[in-house]
Amino acid sequence: MNGISESILFTALGVALHLTLQVLLFVRVLLKPHRDPSARLTWVVVVVALPIGGIIAYLLFGETNIGRKRAKRMRAVLARMPTLQAAPGADAPTLAADIPERYRHLFQVGHSISGFEPIGGNRAQIPPESNAVIEALVADIDAAQDHVHLLFYIWLTDRNGLKVAQALMRAAARGVICRAMADDLGSRAMIHSAHWRAMQAAGVRLARALPIGNPLLRVLGGRIDLRNHRKIVVIDDWITYCGSQNCADPEFRVKAKYAPWVDLTIRFEGPIARQNQHLFAGDWMAHVDDDIDALLRRPLPAAEPGISAQVVGTGPTVRYSAMPELFEALIYSARHSVVITTPYYVPNESLQAALCASARRGVETLIVFPQRNDSRVVAAASRSYYADLLGAGVRIYEYVGGLLHAKSLTLDGAIGLIGSANMDRRSFDLNYENNILLYDPDLTRQIRQRQQHYLDSARRVDPDDVANWPRHRRLLNNTVAILGPVL
């Protein structure tokens, strides 16, 4: 009897401990700041439905936490960095952004996120395809005179990845200061390769963004899946690249069956490079004991009148909901047309509502997704939103020429947004992202032409086809979408 009594007692204590842990977790979910109600409800359901797995999942992925030490260091770095109110030493009237009154509020949203004012005097080129981007980048590195700064989420040891690595080594050999940073997860193949060691031996200064270390211990110091998804290149404080392209071949051999990866990247010249420099410096100094604040205080040369642009950097240590706020502000400002390309679409409720409202008020609202997505889960979640979008009058297209990876938005033929951020919860809440918001009818026209190329290579989604999807498909899509807040 004693053995049975002890067994019952231990069982009761185990159940009581588990229930206590669940209640404490519920309280934490409900009290955690910056979490929308749907996310709270989803996590409560997960913890209830999966009594043990749900608790483990929340402890691993439930909170946007990069770790106290890392967050403290990032805050200290950003606090001491000089603010960029205007380009020091440059002619202010020449560099003043020339933006019509009806669009200035959009750049105020961007300013509220990163603290950067829109700045004029920029020029831009859109290389025709991914290999041309790498060719231009290598040429710019070979022509660099002072420094090259580079940050990529994915840097592969393929043809294009090695072209860039070799260009950096050539630049370092002639005395150019080269700093290169790669995300520890996305670029793990390069980081653990002989090419990384060769760059280091050649004098290229290297850093791993958000290093994982021991995965079992890493979770004690913050979420393991918070990543630096940015793609930043700054050369001599005057040339910068921004867009969706990683440092890799379009064949993207790690996921070759979805290839080619179709990207959109823009090469800028002008004072906008200083704002990307600021983003890079913050990321670099948060990981490396290498103070480069002095670069941000150098005077910039006077620039010719040109494109008005603004860098918008977001991430888990930046203001909550920053990226969806910018997307929504742009969509609600559209009067004639808004065209969007994104590979991943797992929106929050307000972004979905913004797109539907845009179409309902008569704005031509087009959105292009890849027909084949490298994430089946995200693809299913994305398609759960099709019926409501189509019902509101949004025209949806699915690109069939590869994996459309370009992240772009054009508004009324005047405003453009390009960068690294997707329209999904990961880009909104978990990843460090960088984008450039711009006003220039000519450059926006060029972006729109590229978008039209995607549209011409896409299949329009028929509302009747979506309405006739079999029940099991709709059930799968909608079930996956419920998990959107935890994806």
| pLDDT tens string 125-137 | 999 999 999 999 9
SS3 of 438, please?
strand
C-alpha count within 13 angstroms, C-beta hemisphere, residue 363: 24
Does residue 120 share a domain with residue 263?
Answer: yes
| Residues comprising the chain, all counted | 487
**Both tokens assigned to 307:** 């494109």
**Is 349 part of a structural domain of the chain?**
yes
- Which of residues 246, 273, 308 is at a domain's end? 308
Q: For residue 43, what pLDDT is reported?
A: 75
Taking CA atoms, 1 is separated from 13, 44, 92, 213, in Å, by: 18, 39, 88, 50
Q: What is the pLDDT at residue 213?
A: 76
Taking CA atoms, 396 is separated from 118, 383, 406, 423, 463, in Å, by 32, 10, 16, 15, 9
Model confidence band, residue 342 (pLDDT cutoffs 50, 70, 90): very high
Q: 448 with 463: CB under 8 angstroms?
A: no
pLDDT-based confidence at 485, cuts 50/70/90? low
Could you tell me the two tokens for 132? 């041309």
The CATH number of whichever domain residue 222 belongs to comes to: 3.30.870.10
Q: How far is CA 475 from CA 381, 383, 487, in A?
A: 11, 11, 18
Q: Which residues are identified as catalytic?
A: 229, 231, 236, 405, 407, 412
Same domain assignment for residues 251 and 352: no
> Does residue 242 sit within a domain?
yes
Ramachandran region, residue 412 (left: φ > 0; alpha: ψ -120 to 50; beta: rest): left
241 and 355 housed in the same domain: no
Q: Residues 411, 336: one domain?
A: yes
Q: Which of 12-16, 309-313, 356-360, 474-478 has the lowest mean pLDDT?
A: 12-16
> At which of 279, 308, 337 does a domain end?
308
Residue 82 in any domain: the answer is yes
Residue 303 maps to a domain: yes
Both 302 and 353 in a single domain?
no
List the domain range (segments joined by +) for residue 27: 2-61
64 vs 198 pLDDT, higher one: 198
* Mean model confidence pLDDT for the chain: 89
The reply to whether 317 falls in a domain is no
Structure tokens at 250: 């379009």
**pTM for this one?**
0.90
Instruction: Give backbone dihedrals phi and psi of 466, rounded to 5 degrees, phi first.
Output: -65, -40
Domain count, the chain: 3
Same domain, 471 and 403: yes
Backbone angles phi, psi at 419, to 5 degrees: 160, -150
Question: Which residues does 146 contact at the CB level (< 8 Å), separation at least 6?
Answer: 176, 177, 236, 237
One domain, residues 275 and 350: no
Residue 326: CB partners within 8 Å, gap ≥ 6? 106, 109, 110, 113, 312, 417, 435, 437
Residues 184 and 235 reside in one and the same domain: yes
φ and ψ of 422, to 5 deg = -90, 170
Tell me: do 128 and 274 sit in the same domain. yes
Among residues 166, 189, 168, 170, which one has the least CA distance to residue 180?
168
Structure tokens belonging to residue 445: 């026209």
3-state helix, strand, coil in the chain (%, to 5): 50, 20, 30
| Model pLDDT for residues 383-437, shown as the tens digit of each residue | 999 999 999 999 999 999 999 999 999 999 999 999 999 999 889 988 999 999 9
Note whether 256 and 302 are same-domain residues. yes
Whether 110 maps to a domain, the answer reads: no
List of residues 6+ apart from 10 with CB closer than 8 A: none
Q: Does any domain span residue 313?
A: no
The segment with the largest mean pLDDT, out of 38-47, 267-276, 473-482, is: 267-276
Chain-centre distance for alpha carbon 40 = 23
Task: Identify the CA nearest to 416 among candidates 387, 450, 391.
Answer: 450
The last residue of one of the domains, among 275, 308, 341, is 308
Quickly list H helices, 213-254: 215-218
**Residue 375 belongs to a domain:** yes
- Same domain for 183 and 240, yes or no, is yes
Instruction: Dig out the tokens for 310 from the structure.
Output: 């603004």
Residues 200 and 174 placed together within one structural domain of the fold:
yes
